[in-house]
Amino acid sequence: APVAAESAAAAAERRRSEKMPIWRSKETMNLPTVMYENIRRSAYFLNLVDTGTIYDDLVDEVCKEVRSLEPWVGNTRNPSTAWCLLYRFFTIRLTIRQINAMARNRQSPFVRALALLYVRLCVPPERQWHYYKRSMNDDTEFRPRGKEHPAMTIGSYTKELIRQNKYLKVMLPRIPVLLQKEWLSRIDEHDKYGRFLDEGEEGSDGAGGGDDYYDGEDDGYGGGGGGGGG
């Protein structure tokens, strides 16, 4: 029995260290052409690449610099700091452990929200729900459109990512129809009861979860601690 337990632990650790598979485009992150090209030309993004930023650097940068998740700077077609950082996370190919750590980051709700946006844009749909499900219980308020706009909870932000095929006029990849229908039904359930009926009262702690956050034999998400570098 001890040997089997060690083997299971080793397998879980290996899963957490794997790169999260990319859905569809491994180059563009499924971003619209204009957004993709403008990020690649952005002086801020190029500096992130030139300075060799890795996971921990990027999380720190989000905590220090991001106060809005607007895609564009004002009325220009200059990509925002947040979306340049989002694409930089994509180029370093986040591991399952790193996405999990972002999704429960306690330093800034913008880190958690960027994790959700990352999931929505490029994580295979069959793996997305685990992140949404936990995040819907997160009642932390933040201002994704900046200080001039109303606050919303991370939970509400999560629901809007599922409901909408556009993010402030930026097209999002379409969720497969049957999956989206199922998820919208679950959202209706959560809206009505404040929880999912198959969960009891579990999962009400803000960013959610402990060390086993997103862990499970069947889904290969793994929980565990922070992301680590590179």
Residue 166, phi-psi category: left (phi > 0), alpha (psi -120 to 50), beta (remainder) = beta
pTM of the model: 0.84
For the stretch 169-197, pLDDT in tens is 899 999 999 999 999 999 999 999 999 98
Phi and psi at 83, nearest 5°, equal -75, -30
d(CA 180, CA 140): 25
Percent of the chain with pLDDT over 90: 74
For the stretch 137-170, pLDDT in tens is 999 999 999 888 999 999 999 999 999 999 988 9
